[in-house]
Structure 1
Amino acid sequence: MAAMKEKLIRKKKLLTGAGIVLILAVVILAVRLTVWHGDNDESGKTTAATTESASATAETDAQTSETTIKNSSSTPDPTTAPTSTTQTNPPERPDQLVVSFYKSYSTTEASNQYALWIEDSSGRVVRTIFVTSFTATGNELSGGVAGYTFREDALPTWVAKAVPRNLSEIQLDSISGATPLESGTREYRWDLRDETGNPVPDGEYTLQLEGTLYWSSGVVFSGRFTLGAGAVGDIGITTAYNSQEQQNRNMITGVQAFLIHK
């Protein structure tokens, strides 16, 4: 009886130990399954992230490629790009010579006479722009004869160069005018034509402005210029008095000359 009871106790212990072992095995298996699922989740996330990154990289590469293609298509090939046909117009020849100065009226006799003319490079007069009528044609004071014969001091330089005795009355009338009886600015324009109305050729010219100041004392203002394409702008003026006489020395002042387009 005692032996049988001892066997039952041993059998019970064995069953209890086996149950414990079985429970431990189940727990270990459950833990391993949990870890395995966790690893699979992380791997899935990593794989998804990698896939998403690869997709973004592919999209960026596609955009970069598209931008490169657009830039390449918008950049002209220098070997095939059309050349510009725009041409710069050549500079034009001026249309007019403008001369201005201040003329002070003098109440003394043998004064107030002036002439403006243009010479070519040889010194030949190509056009008289203006001369006071007393010198060119005369008046009551000169007894009806030209002033340059009545008073030899009247504009001697112009008389020697223009030779008015060889000009007709019509020619003299066309270039002469009354002596200004008031002080003020005078302006004269030359249309770049000669005495016959023809355009003068390009070349070197000189404007001359002579004034009879007081009897034999006088002044000549000169300005050399080149006439041609693009020859516009100021003309430098030089002044030459023929004596030290101070009477009416400022009869003509502020002489300026310009070549311009109309």
Structure 2
Amino acid sequence: MEPISVVIITLNEEKRIGRLLDDLVNQTHQDFEVVLVDSNSDDATRDVARSFEKHLPALTVHRMETRGVSLGRNTGASIANHERVLFLDADVRLEPEFLEKSVKELNEKNLQVAGVYMGAKALPAIQKVCYAAFNGGMFATQFFFPTAVGACIFSTRTAHKQLEGFDEKITLCEDCDYVRRASKLMRFRFINQAFQFDPRRLDQDGMVATGFVYLKANFRRFFFGEMRNNEMEYRFGHYQDQK
């Protein structure tokens, strides 16, 4: 089974990055490297990550002076050594067979770029309903105007180079733009796998409010194009104060 470069972007994630790295330690598919790109965190994120070097020998930690989601992902992709790339946020959780099952499905479906559904395991019923709605929207739009959750996206170095990476000028939905552009050049689909992630984003901003923001953002994108001038402001890393 092919090797993977797992690119993780972080900003003040000392309380959560260890959980994800633990999940990677326990993967059934172990042929991967971890490229952690930190946006100059103010906490001990990098120290926590480096404490896993014995358990994840192919782990490297890189610090950026300038903060940015797309910049971090592009930086990680430029460092990656393997063709298959998985972009992750620091608050993602993965089941032990996630990498093994995902790579198998990606190869079977001949996908370079693919989205992954959000899992709602162990979450309250209302959150499961909302996640199901989000996933349903992503499933439906993948055929004509793809969207995706940037917290977990598969790509390849070849595709990433062809796409010229994530657009660092876009202020919101840069992940959706990435997969939309990919769908114009290659076959894009969601794979039948799921990742878990910290619901703090939805808890802090409100489930309904968050859904409305992204619905509005994608309507705006569909009719007026990508947002490069803070038309709908979004702050990278504004969840770090959540417990």
Asked if TM exceeds 0.5, the reply is no
If the TM-score is normalised by the length of the shorter chain, which range does it land in?
under 0.3
Larger Rg: 1
Q: Could you state the TM-score of these two structures normalised by the residue count of structure 2?
A: 0.27
Which has more strand, going by share of residues? 1
